[in-house]
Structure 1
Amino acid sequence: MRNLVVLDFGSNSVRFSINQIVGKDSFQEILRQKATTRLAEGMGNASQPKKLTAKAVKRTLGAVADFQQVYQSYPECKVVGIATAAVRQAENRTDFVAQIKALTGCQIQVLTAQQETYFDYLAVINSLPLTECLIFDVGGGSCELALVKKGQFVAGISLPVGAVSLSERFSPTNDFTAQQLFALQDFLVGSFQQISWLKQAANLPLVLLGGCNRSVARLQRTRLGYAKTDLFHGFSMTTQAFKEIYATLLAKKLPERQQLPGMEANRADIILAGMSPVVLLLEWLASSKVVFSESGAREGFIYHSLKNEAAK
């Protein structure tokens, strides 16, 4: 195997990466692509069964077919797949996994909440020079938190809510009213209060993962005049700067958010729900800054897989 292709089925986007294997336990990403397929669409309503809709599955299968046209041109490829919250929570996940296997020949590994959290940790600790931090991955259908002390994984948790599900539940029209925002904040505070170890992260930097957080990094780098807004791995900003962007977005309607320089138009509808947990956590823990990571569960999965292979 010269190249490892990883299909990554998230709640908002499906992605793939081609990773050139270097030695026994290291890799270099040579290509990545994504498509916004909203796999978690319709799963935010607490009163409805959690199922992948036919439309979301069709969008995702179409994206994967397009990906195949790209990665099949690379030599010596092994194709693997992982799926996170949307698939994990869906009652019809077995059917979805079977459809992906029929299309690609790849058996998806549906990550448990614990695996996703630990893989986030592996990705950050292997790619950023940080030994004390709280990792916060805000996905479309779940949020993962991992406490890191002295470079070690201390505690972690996955909350079954994310930017897509929170938007559908608290702001179905894509623009928060004051009442909806207060309801969201009350819900999030209640969720954080149940995490017994969270106060141990007081004053630590937040390492942010997930699509909405990546959008914030791009917005800030655009504001600061960076020529390359996508090169944000390790980029940091103050808590105050993060809150200023949040306030700016809150004051704008969806069409205005979509037009902001640096904003991904197809993420503008969920970004407020995605940022809200971060803003509350920054206040809760009195953190002074955030650091952005471009690496997440997919990269952690690769580190874990290569280490296992090397140990055989």
Structure 2
Amino acid sequence: MRLAIIDLGTNTFHLLIAEIFGNRFELLYKTNVPVKLGEGRINDNIIIPAAFERGINTLKDFSTTISSFDVDKVKATATSAVRSAENGSDFVKQAKSQAGIEIDTITGEEEAELIYEGVKLSGAIQGKSLIIDIGGGSVEFILCDVEKLIWKKSYNIGAARLMQQHYKSDPISDDDKNAILNHIQNQLQDLFEICEIHQPDKLIGSAGAFETFAELIIQKRKLDIDISTIKTFEFNFDEYISTTIELIAASHATRLNMPGMIPLRVDMIVMATLITNYVLGRLKINQLALSTYDLKMGILATAMEA
């Protein structure tokens, strides 16, 4: 079966086309577009007109690509920006009428489940772990071990939400930083309680910002690693911490010029850094890994099991 997967994230729309042969697959095509659907008013639960138009135009382009690959099935999944927006249902209707793409808007719990399936497929889960997926609209946490998913939850503390609410300085000021950390602390109480019971010893970052963290380190150390072709990457913890200290202290212009930085993440990476480092510190975790497999690979994994 030839399957096209569309992941409509708050920042980025992804298209992946794969051929499935029983319990294995071959990747035929992969692309992503920085649509920035959550731009401007994500905390007001509105997709602004410019972002709405960018999203529909991107889906039209995806539809053209999908047609050229003669796929058997299309699975399009929308997450935080669409599910929380007052005009999210309008976007879903327009996607169908203008681009011919039927979108399934999933809950945060369903999103976390698919992220787990994707990370599991990568082989990154070696012991008791906490998976984190930092999106623009929401952040998913999944507590798991090699055999099972133990606990999962989605929180509306995504990078775009935090930026629009609290990020007013460049470089980020202590006041802005403290406002963000207080907000994170208040939101994640139940996460810390469940982790106190289960004691995960590793944090696994699902794609996104963690690919950028890895890319920054790869470029700095001139490692012969291509992020687009690997499933996992193990961070040296001290190296990760020193990289994130640089990111937080840097201005927008300095971050933009860092080898390995992509323009879409130049500011959102600061939010991702604050979230990740707070969780690492609070849970006393000093092992960190990247899984390049995320939600869209979870959809693929689910299709292979069907």
Normalising by structure 1, we get a TM-score of 0.91
Give the alignment of 1:1-312 within 5 angstroms: 2-23=1-22, 25-45=23-43, 49-130=44-125, 131-173=127-169, 175-195=171-191, 196-230=193-227, 231-308=229-306
In structure 1, how many angstroms separate the alpha carbons of the residues matched to 2:95 and 2:52? 10
Q: Aligned equivalents of 1:78 and 1:153: distance in 2?
A: 28
Instruction: Report the Cα offset of residue 173 of structure 1.
Output: 4.8
For each residue in 1:47-69, what CA deviation from the matched residue of structure 2 results, as whole angstroms up to 9, or x when unmatched?
A: xx301111111111222223233
Structure 1 residue runs of 4 or more that deviate by more than 6 Å after TM superposition: none
Output one character per residue of 1:34-92: Cα deviation in whole Å (capped at 9) or x when no partner.
110111113444xxx30111111111122222323333211344222001111111111
Q: Which moved more, 1:212-221 or 1:298-307?
A: 298-307
Q: Distance in 1 between matches of 2:12 and 2:168?
A: 19
Query: Is the 8 Å Cα contact of residues 97 and 108 (structure 1) preserved in structure 2?
Result: yes
CA distance in 2, matches of 1:88, 1:70: 26
Question: Do the aligned residues in 1 keep the contact of 2:37 with 2:47 (CA within 8 Å)?
Answer: yes
Matched residue of 1:126: which SS? Answer: helix
- Shift of the alpha carbon at 1:126? 2.2
- Residue 199 of structure 1: SS of its match in structure 2? helix
1-structure distance, mates of 2:223, 2:72: 35
How far has the Cα of 1:174 moved from its partner? 5.6
CA distance in 2 between partners of 1:37 and 1:169 (Å): 20
Unaligned runs of 5+ in 1: none
User: What is the number of residues matched between the two proteins?
Assistant: 303
User: 1:281–1:238: structure 2 CA closer, same or farther, 3 Å change rule?
Assistant: farther
Q: 1:269 to 1:20 in 2, by over 3 A?
A: same
Q: Distance in 1 between matches of 2:49 and 2:42?
A: 16
Compute the displacement of 1:213 (Å). 1.8
Residues 234-243 or 106-115, more deviating: 234-243
Aligned partners of 2:258, 2:153: CA distance in 1, in Å?
Answer: 33
SS of residue in 1 equivalent to 2:133: strand
Distance across 2 between alignment mates of 1:299 and 1:50: 28
Alpha-carbon separation, structure 2, partners of 1:208 and 1:16: 21
Residue aligned with 1:80, SS: strand
Verify the 8 A CA contact 2:204 2:289 in the aligned structure 1.
yes
* Structure with greater helix share of residues: 2
Deviations 1:120-148 (A, max 9, x none): 11111122152421110111110000111
1:151 aligned counterpart, secondary structure? coil
Checking the alignment, whether the CA contact within 8 Å between 1:114 and 1:158 is kept in structure 2 is yes
CA distance in 2, matches of 1:129, 1:214: 14
TM-score by length of 2: 0.93
| Structure 1 Cα separation of the partners of residues 285 and 230 of structure 2 | 20
Partner-residue secondary structure (3-state), 2:302? helix
For the residues of structure 1 that align with 2:197 and 2:133, how far apart are their CA atoms?
18
Distance 1:34 1:173 in 2: 29
- Within 1, Cα distance between the matches of 2:235 and 2:14? 26
RMSD after superposition: 1.8
Give, as a single letter, the amino acid of the residue that structure 2 aligns with 1:97. V
| Paired-residue identity, % | 24
For residues 176 and 123 of structure 1, do their structure 2 counterparts lie closer, same or farther at Cα, with a shift above 3 Å needed? Answer: same
Cα distance change of structure 1 residues 119 and 85 upon mapping to structure 2, 3 Å threshold? same
More off after superposition, 263-272 vs 193-202: 193-202
